[in-house]
A and B are shown apart, each in its own frame.
Chain A
Amino acid sequence: MSIIEVKNLVKRFGDITAVNDISFSVEKGEIFAFLGPNGAGKSTTIKMLTTLLDPTSGHITLNGFNTSQNADAVRHSFGIVFQDPSLDDELTAWENMEFHGVLYGIEKKLRRERIEKLMTFVELWDRKDSLVKAFSGGMKRRLEIARGLLHHPKVIFLDEPTLGLDPQTRNHMWNYLKELNKTEGTTVFFTTHYMEEADKIAGRIAVIDHGVIVASGTGEELKSKTQTGSLEEAFLSLTGRTIRADESTGADHMRMASKLWRGGNKR
């Protein structure tokens, strides 16, 4: 049974068609990579999958629930790690977890148990009372993963989760996620710009470009289809070599300002 089912999904912003009639499905327990150049429609698709944006047309079911008609049931079914950290810097690691648990209506005793278990799992339990602003980029990412898993989602979305992380942290992080995928059967849906990572981790890959899915299959299938030796080359052969004019958005300005103000990822 498919855990995510996308049919004829379209999203238009005025004249621009960001996502143009895509259909795909992700099986339960899969590790699925969603790749594409900047501005290809990845983030827009993830926003629609996670109920942050309404599709112009087409429909999405996640864990059997329609994202537009049954948004709350969908929201219970997934966890997400955003591209930009969405932790509260002024709160401690534990408080961030606690707030998430309260929002998802997890009963107190169970909540406290799970928080301890997950924070131990991502090796942050000894730092539970530190303010998040004192954390490194990698620690924040680990905490976000723990938080995203707190309500035992069926699917976890990770939007460029390894961006800016060192190889050690990256390796660690994927180990957690693979273990979780194996033991709990949690479906992992992620985007990345590191092709070797996608090739190594993902069971299946979809490549989106100009709002259309140009290819999907296992890493091997994509390579043999394009007659290339690596996923990187396969990706370039599928999406072309031109550098995309990535329009700078308000978020980019703010990302910049945030780095200046907060001194970036300290420590």
Chain B
Amino acid sequence: MRTIYILWLRQLKRYVRSKSRVFGSLAQPLLFLIALGYGLGPVFQKAGSGDYIQFLVPGIIGMTIIFSSVFSGIEIIWDKQFGFLKETLVAPVSRFNIMIGRTLGGATTSTMQGLIVFLIAILIGFKVNRLSSLLPVVLLMLLVSLLFTALGTLIATKLDDMQGFQLIVNFLVMPLFFLSGAIFPLGGGLPEALIVLSRIDPLAYGIDAFRTVLGGMSTFGLGVDIGVLSVITLILIGIGSYSFSRMQI
């Protein structure tokens, strides 16, 4: 327990202290929110789909979370060579606890990033219908953050240096984001291939869950969303901790 706690605390302290990183990683989602939100708003309205900002915000929260989670997991590559992680690997503590502590820490900071974006969205006009939906949204954000931090960790255990990093951004994170229905509805009229792809994109379920709880329309249903997210998270943590425990540096 103490291992999990101390590694979680470490992630949190690092997060609070690196203000430039906090703001830096908020720039991209805010740009998307403002440029797309206001840019495509009129078209969306004319198509009879309602207020685009209301539609877009859950997607942008999802975007913030997937980027910050996957990166915090991948940071392990750096960490195993130049960081505290190497120190923890020779300490008399179980690898499983190290991995869990770090993943929980990464997930907590990603959730905080998501929350900041959420609050900014409220400031620029996003309407929350029920205050009671706030707690469920935060819990869902934590679940989605856990999923993608575990994914980042799993990738990091398999890579030796940062050279594969760009590959992961372009071939994994970007597609997951664009196919998730973050910026367009996954409704009728989409090509069949796109529908299929979005069905196997875990982020689609996360964003659908945010949207449902925040008063938007649901594509899959909240139960399915939470079920799929939980199962994938457990699988990723399972494979990740196995791979982490066998990691040799």
Cβ of B120 within 8 Å of any chain A Cβ, yes or no, is no
Within 8 A of A (CB), among B1-54: 2-3, 6, 10, 13-14, 17-18
Contact (A250, B161) CB under 8 Å given A52-B249, A86-B86, A103-B6: yes
CA distance A254 to B14 in the complex (A): 21
- Chain A residue numbers with a CB within 8 Å of B3 are 102-103
The answer to whether A253 and B10 touch across the interface, beta carbons within 8 angstroms, is no
Contact with B along A92-103 (1 / 0, CB 8 A): 000110011011
- Chain A residue numbers with a CB within 8 Å of B2 are 102-103, 105
Cβ of A80 within 8 Å of any chain B Cβ, yes or no, is yes
CA distance A82 to B249 in the complex (A): 12
CA distance A100 to B81 in the complex (A): 17
CA distance A90 to B13 in the complex (A): 8
Cβ of A76 within 8 Å of any chain B Cβ, yes or no, is yes
Interface centre among B14, B85, B87 (most CB of A within 10 A): B87
The answer to whether A103 and B88 touch across the interface, beta carbons within 8 angstroms, is yes
Cβ of B82 within 8 Å of any chain A Cβ, yes or no, is yes
Cβ of B168 within 8 Å of any chain A Cβ, yes or no, is no
Interface centre among A51, A52, A54 (most CB of B within 10 A): A52
The answer to whether B92 and A254 touch across the interface, beta carbons within 8 angstroms, is no
State how many residues of chain A have any CB contact under 8 Å with chain B: 39
- Chain A residue numbers with a CB within 8 Å of B116 are none
Question: How near does chain B come to A127, taking the closest CB pair, in angstroms?
Answer: 17
A258: nearest chain-B partner, CB-CB: B82
Interface size grouping (class) on chain B: 20 to 34
The answer to whether B14 and A91 touch across the interface, beta carbons within 8 angstroms, is yes
Cβ of A22 within 8 Å of any chain B Cβ, yes or no, is no
The answer to whether A88 and B92 touch across the interface, beta carbons within 8 angstroms, is no
- Chain A residue numbers with a CB within 8 Å of B17 are 90, 131
- Chain B residue numbers with a CB within 8 Å of A52 are 89-90, 248-249
Cβ of A87 within 8 Å of any chain B Cβ, yes or no, is yes
B13: nearest chain-A partner, CB-CB: A91
The answer to whether B92 and A75 touch across the interface, beta carbons within 8 angstroms, is yes
Contact with A along B73-93 (1 / 0, CB 8 A): 000001001111111111111
Interface centre among B3, B82, B88, B160 (most CB of A within 10 A): B82
- Chain B residue numbers with a CB within 8 Å of A187 are none
The answer to whether A75 and B90 touch across the interface, beta carbons within 8 angstroms, is yes
The answer to whether A254 and B13 touch across the interface, beta carbons within 8 angstroms, is no
CA distance A102 to B9 in the complex (A): 12
A89: nearest chain-B partner, CB-CB: B83
Cβ of A186 within 8 Å of any chain B Cβ, yes or no, is no
- Chain B residue numbers with a CB within 8 Å of A95 are 13
Cβ of A53 within 8 Å of any chain B Cβ, yes or no, is yes
Cβ of B163 within 8 Å of any chain A Cβ, yes or no, is yes
Interface centre among A105, A250, A258 (most CB of B within 10 A): A250
B interface list, Cβ under 8 A from A: 2-3, 6, 10, 13-14, 17-18, 78, 81-93, 160-163, 248-249
A interface list, Cβ under 8 A from B: 47, 50-54, 71-73, 75-76, 78, 80, 82, 84-88, 90-91, 95-96, 99-100, 102-105, 131, 147, 249-251, 253-255, 257-258
